[in-house]
Structure 1
């Protein structure tokens, strides 16, 4: 008991400082998971403050975003852009990506396997069309707006394979929010996605912090984090139809889209990978951007500078490899692969 108290006293300043960061786990930080503090409004205050700052930053970024894209995103929390690349350019880009060989990592979640190849200097050299795409001013402006920051996302070539041999459920198939604050995820699909083949699914309008959503956030913050599912307790809340009704939200929408469609979403909104009636393999350009939600300024991220931004994925993988015993490393090395090579 004395050892535990001493550890708590040592950790208390860190736990306190985390209140002003993107830290979200009610299990790992007893201040975030404190039912007493949350009854007094701690979690609700963090959600509201992060939302207000994001709204202010987006207002300042809005002028550079195409009006139709901005209106669709503001309404729904995502925007789906078909034929985002001219067809002849898309065909060449798709061929180059599918034939590219690079260091790959894989992760299994339930019956799904995800493979990722880093979009790094080596890939940009081999596939210059990819750099031109990601440097497009209209796409960068949209990414900045959705992220709420003028930062460079992390980019990967991602392959999803479903119905692999496993009796476990894929946690990505349950509607959830990634965190208590806004962040960017995007998918540029290199294959067509059918409505019954694990489509990206989103609850329209669920990115908005309405009174009903804030009330729901307050109620969920009062739960004992050891008595709810682990992913929710770690800050990525799972929801069902009753929760959506409580928040006065519509049914989720599954996005069946053709190849060459870019979907950009705020993962504060509730989303999931839809169910698939058959095994599928899908390849996409996947991008992700998240920053401390309480930072008021738009830029100032040195790791977003050209020459550094495209090396971050390799650095992150290496860092997790080095400290695997402390932070874990779900992404295992599988050697040099193409996106479409068979999974191990």
Structure 2
């Protein structure tokens, strides 16, 4: 081992060790998480089982505020679908206000898809009061908390997926995957209908449950050389195929076309994907995301969820990454103020 490498190991070892008690998931970036020796002894399997046990315990304490039908649907499938979630007259005004206004936006390309995001910030909430009222609904907040397993305020964006851009490889989000080894929440409120050939939400029903078969699969994947598998899997977001689903006794993935004004709230520890888009198009939605340290035993305590802070986090995060792009990277590039869709 070179002197420089030895010094790096000595310096970073305390950080790598501390990360074992967080949601850190990369088998490439943390040599403890990626250690085949430690994982043969059960390190990854232990992290998965502890995180799952705590998530189920937190959900049991949050369940009383969630309508029983939503709770039962989530426990069965790993996601909840709510059609006509906003009264139609209010939804049409909300949609027209969002799609008819130019907003500051950011874009990122993955394969043949461009993801465009606009922060739901104080300016947008003031301009579109119906959106603010939706996020303040007690039933919606309770569902977000239940799926996320924490009383935390998600990050909210207006998100546009531009699919099938010519001249690029396939979108990696079209491959079935889990976001992490522990529970996390994502939600989509579709502002326009999404047909079967337009990149629909796709999910393996029930795969949010860490069954004995899923835990064994997690154990076996932890033994793989992270340098010999695809990069996204090595960084902790495993891609899977039909054989993996059979190994875990799960059924096939199901693509779900949705009408406008439909909300989906899902645990993305379950296996999911963006279904393949058969032609160029723009899918537009309000996209929400929440993920916290899976090893915390309490429900709240998230200072970043405080009013006045929660709705400004995205702007601060983008500005921070812009400032330190040289060191930590910045995949979200600025683009001119524009409406969410072109057509």
What interval of TM-score do these two structures reach, taking the shorter chain for normalisation? Answer: over 0.9
Aligned twin of 2:156: 155
Q: Deviation at 1:100? A: 2.2
Asked whether the 8 Å contact 1:200–1:255 carries over to 2, the reply is yes
Aligned twin of 2:4: 3
Aligned twin of 1:56: 57
Deviations 1:59-107 (A, max 9, x none): 0000000111110001100011111111111111111110122210001
Q: 1:254 and 1:234 mapped to 2: Cα distance?
A: 26
Moved over 3 A (4+): none
Aligned twin of 1:242: 243
Secondary structure in 1 matching 2:13:
helix
Aligned twin of 2:109: 108
1:324 lines up with 2:325 in the alignment: yes
Secondary structure in 1 matching 2:47:
helix
Asked whether the 8 Å contact 2:177–2:238 carries over to 1, the reply is yes
Asked whether the 8 Å contact 2:164–2:278 carries over to 1, the reply is no
After the TM superposition, which of the residue ranges 85-94 and 137-146 deviates more from structure 2? Answer: 85-94
Q: 1:247 and 1:327 mapped to 2: Cα distance?
A: 36
Deviations 1:6-55 (A, max 9, x none): 11011100000000001000000000000000000000000000000000
Q: Deviation at 1:165? A: 2.3
Q: 1:300 and 1:28 mapped to 2: Cα distance?
A: 28
After the TM superposition, which of the residue ranges 272-281 and 18-27 deviates more from structure 2? Answer: 272-281
Aligned twin of 1:287: 288
The unaligned stretches of length 5 or more in structure 1 are none
Aligned twin of 1:226: 227
1:65 lines up with 2:66 in the alignment: yes
Q: Deviation at 1:166? A: 2.6
Secondary structure in 1 matching 2:96:
helix
Asked whether the 8 Å contact 1:110–1:166 carries over to 2, the reply is no
TM norm structure 2: 0.99
Aligned twin of 1:263: 264
Secondary structure in 1 matching 2:195:
coil
Q: 1:147 and 1:101 mapped to 2: Cα distance?
A: 31
Secondary structure in 2 matching 1:217:
helix
Aligned twin of 2:311: 310
Asked whether the 8 Å contact 2:52–2:182 carries over to 1, the reply is yes
Aligned twin of 1:32: 33
Q: 2:102 and 2:310 mapped to 1: Cα distance?
A: 21
The unaligned stretches of length 5 or more in structure 2 are none
Q: 1:116 and 1:134 mapped to 2: Cα distance?
A: 18
Q: 2:10 and 2:167 mapped to 1: Cα distance?
A: 43
Secondary structure in 1 matching 2:20:
helix
Q: 2:4 and 2:202 mapped to 1: Cα distance?
A: 46
Aligned twin of 2:184: 183
Aligned length: 342
Q: Deviation at 1:283? A: 0.9
Deviations 1:281-319 (A, max 9, x none): 111000000000001100011110111100000011011
Aligned twin of 2:215: 214
Secondary structure in 1 matching 2:105:
strand
Q: 2:14 and 2:226 mapped to 1: Cα distance?
A: 21
Aligned twin of 1:334: 335
Q: Deviation at 1:270? A: 0.3
1:54-133, aligned counterparts within 5 Å?
54-133=55-134
Secondary structure in 2 matching 1:254:
strand
Q: 1:245 and 1:211 mapped to 2: Cα distance?
A: 13
